[in-house]
C-alpha cells in the first residue's frame, strides 16, 4: 500500500548527521534535513547546517516554517480568522468596483455592515469554526433586532467571504448555503397614477414656487414619459438624447459615494441599458430645455451649478410635501 503523501506545506521527520570533522575526528558541524512538500505538490529535500545537532535542527525548522509561510502569503487556510478573510474579499470586491463591474454603493454597504454587525459577532472566529447553525442564529438575530434588509446584506457578506474561502481551499463547503433565506415584509402593490391624477399632479407642480425652484415639473414629466428611476433620470446627459429621433439612452444612474460625492455609474446590468422612445410632448419639452442651455456634456436635469443632482433630494417625502402644500386634490394627497 503506497505511503500517504505529506500535506501541502508540511515536512517529514528531521534527521541530523555530522557533516564536518576536525583533525581529531570530532564533528565541527552538523547537517539537518527533511522532506518538504511544496505547494506545487512536489516533495523536495531541504537542509540546514549548525555547529551542534540542536542548532542544525533549529535552523532547519526555522527555514521550513518560513518557506511554508511565504508560500501561503496572501492565501487563506482553515485557521485564518474570518475578519482577515473578509479584508481579502473586500479588496477583491473593490477591484470589481474599479472595473465598474460592481457598484461603489454596494461596497460601502458591505463595509458598513462588516464593521457594525458581522465582524463584532463572528470576526475572530476561524474559518473552520464557521458552521451553518452558528451563522443561521446570527442572521436570525440580525433580522429580529435590525431588520430584514440588514440581515440580507449580512448574509450576502458571509456567503461572499466563505465562498472565497472555498475557492482558496481553506474550507470544503460554504456553510451559508444552507442558512435560511431572509424573508422581508410583503411589499404593497405599486399603483400607477390615473389620467386625472397625473393631470392634477403636473398642474400643481407648475404653480408651486418651491417645485419650480427645484426643477420638478420637467423632471416629473420626463419620468412619467420614460418610466425611469430618479437616479437614472438625473444621470441622463444631453449626448444620450436624440431630439430628431425622439429617443433617449439610459445607461447610468447617480449615486453618492462617501468621501467622493455624487458619481454617475453604469446600470447594474447590461439589460439595464436601454433605448427608450419619447412621446412627442416629452421631446418638445426637452428641446426647449436644450435651446435654453445647449451643453452636450452636462446633465439634462443639473443642479444649480450645472453638475449632478442628488437623488435623495427628490425623495417621496419631498414630493409628498409638495402635493400637500398647494391645491386641494382629494385622493392625490394620499398617494404613496
Distance in angstroms (rounded) separating the CA atoms of residues 317 and 333: 12
At residue 297's C-alpha, the angle toward residues 289 and 97, to 5°, is 125
3-state SS assignment for residue 180 = coil
More confident residue, 256 or 18: 18
Return contacts of 309-316, CB within 8 angstroms, 24+ apart. Answer: 309/234, 309/254, 309/262, 310/254, 310/256, 310/262, 311/230, 311/231, 311/234, 311/254, 311/255, 312/256, 313/214, 314/214, 314/216, 314/219, 314/230, 314/234
| pLDDT above 50 (res 60) | yes
pLDDT digits (tens, 9 = 90+) for 91-142: 999 998 888 788 888 899 999 999 999 999 999 999 989 999 999 999 999 9
**Per-residue confidence band for 74, with pLDDT thresholds at 50, 70 and 90:** low
Distance in angstroms (rounded) separating the CA atoms of residues 137 and 129: 14
- What are the strands of the beta sheet with 27-37, ordered from one edge? 15-21, 27-37, 43-50
pLDDT digits (tens, 9 = 90+) for 222-251: 999 998 989 899 999 999 999 999 999 998
State residue 180's pLDDT score: 85
3-state SS assignment for residue 61 = helix
* Cell numbers that stand for 289 in this block: 430645455
Task: Please give the average per-residue pLDDT across 201-209, as a whole number.
Answer: 89
The answer to whether 87 touches 45, Cβ cutoff 8 Å, is: no
Packed helices 216-226 and 195-207: angle between N→C axes, nearest 10 degrees: 160
Question: Would the pTM count as exceeding 0.85?
Answer: no
**Per-residue confidence band for 26, with pLDDT thresholds at 50, 70 and 90:** confident
Amino acid at each position: 500500500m503506497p505511503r500517504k503523501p505529506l500535506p501541502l506545506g508540511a515536512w517529514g521527520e528531521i534527521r541530523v548527521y555530522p557533516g564536518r570533522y576536525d583533525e581529531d575526528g570530532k564533528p565541527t558541524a552538523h547537517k539537518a534535513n527533511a522532506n518538504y512538500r511544496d505547494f506545487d505538490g512536489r516533495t523536495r529535500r531541504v537542509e540546514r547546517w549548525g555547529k551542534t545537532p540542536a542548532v542544525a535542527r533549529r535552523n532547519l525548522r526555522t527555514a521550513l516554517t518560513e518557506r511554508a509561510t511565504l508560500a501561503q502569503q496572501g492565501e487563506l487556510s482553515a485557521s485564518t480568522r474570518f475578519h482577515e478573510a473578509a479584508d481579502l474579499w473586500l479588496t477583491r470586491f473593490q477591484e470589481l468596483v474599479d472595473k465598474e463591474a460592481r457598484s461603489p454603493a454596494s461596497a460601502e454597504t458591505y463595509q458598513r455592515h462588516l464593521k457594525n454587525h458581522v465582524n463584532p459577532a463572528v470576526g475572530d472566529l476561524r474559518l473552520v469554526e464557521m458552521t451553518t447553525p452558528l451563522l443561521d442564529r446570527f442572521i436570525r438575530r440580525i433580522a429580529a433586532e435590525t431588520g430584514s434588509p440588514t440581515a440580507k446584506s449580512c448574509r450576502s457578506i458571509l456567503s461572499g467571504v466563505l465562498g472565497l474561502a472555498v475557492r482558496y481551499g481553506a474550507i470544503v463547503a460554504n456553510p451559508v448555503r444552507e442558512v435560511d433565506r431572509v424573508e422581508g415584509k410583503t411589499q404593497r402593490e405599486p399603483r400607477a397614477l390615473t389620467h386625472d391624477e397625473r393631470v392634477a399632479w403636473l398642474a400643481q407642480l407648475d404653480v408651486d414656487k418651491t417645485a419650480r425652484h427645484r426643477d420638478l415639473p420637467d423632471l416629473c414629466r420626463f419620468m412619467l414619459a420614460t418610466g425611469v428611476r430618479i437616479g437614472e433620470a438625473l444621470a441622463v446627459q444631453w449626448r444620450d438624447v436624440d431630439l430628431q429621433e425622439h429617443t433617449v439612452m439610459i445607461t447610468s444612474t447617480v449615486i453618492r459615494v462617501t468621501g467622493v460625492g455624487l458619481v454617475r455609474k453604469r446600470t447594474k446590468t447590461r439589460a439595464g441599458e436601454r433605448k427608450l422612445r419619447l412621446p412627442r410632448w416629452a421631446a418638445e419639452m426637452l428641446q426647449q430645455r436644450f435651446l435654453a442651455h445647449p451643453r452636450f456634456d452636462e446633465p439634462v436635469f443639473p443642479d444649480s451649478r450645472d453638475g449632478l443632482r442628488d437623488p435623495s433630494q427628490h425623495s417621496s417625502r419631498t414630493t409628498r410635501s409638495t402635493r400637500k402644500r398647494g391645491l386641494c386634490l382629494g385622493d392625490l394627497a394620499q398617494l404613496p
